[in-house]
């Protein structure tokens, strides 16, 4: 699976994407808590590359604030995946629910190889 990742960069240490292949589609799921769908971009680039990117803004600091702990990441993230040849890149769908982005890439129907009997002459 890692052979299909194309130059991944991430400012979020916890930006992880699952890629599952079913009989009919490739399904990508990314946990993006706190992000709105308007802050996330899903694109298919030339060469069947799926790109998921976005940015989590840093919390505004007030002059008199004193932070005791900072564990939540902020910044940009970018994940790229090379899709297989059976991917229908013109039919990609994306949805976001409860901080989970789901990208569904339908697959071309694989035609079963036809067996053709050849008559033997002579």
Cα separation of 34 and 72, whole Å? 10
Domain 2-58+74-106 sits in CATH 3.30.565.10: no
Mean pLDDT over residues 28-32, rounded? 95
- Reduced to 3 states, what is the DSSP secondary structure of residue 94? strand
Is residue 81's pLDDT more than 50? yes
Is residue 104's pLDDT more than 50? yes
Would you state the pLDDT for residue 2?
Answer: 46
Mean pLDDT over residues 34-53, rounded? 94
Decide: 40 and 51 in contact? Cβ < 8 Å. no
């Amino acid at each position: 699976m890692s052979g299909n990742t194309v130059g991944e960069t991430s400012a979020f240490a916890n930006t992880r994407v699952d890629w599952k292949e079913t009989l009919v589609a490739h399904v990508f799921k990314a946990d993006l808590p706190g992000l709105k769908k308007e802050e996330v971009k899903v694109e298919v680039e030339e060469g069947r590359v799926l790109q998921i990117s976005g940015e989590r803004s840093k919390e505004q600091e007030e002059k008199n604030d004193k932070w005791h702990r900072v564990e939540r990441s902020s910044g940009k993230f970018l994940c790229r995946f090379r899709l297989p040849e059976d991917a229908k890149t013109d039919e990609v769908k994306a949805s976001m629910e409860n901080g989970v982005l789901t990208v569904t890439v339908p697959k071309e129907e694989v035609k079963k190889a036809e067996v053709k009997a050849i008559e033997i002459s002579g």
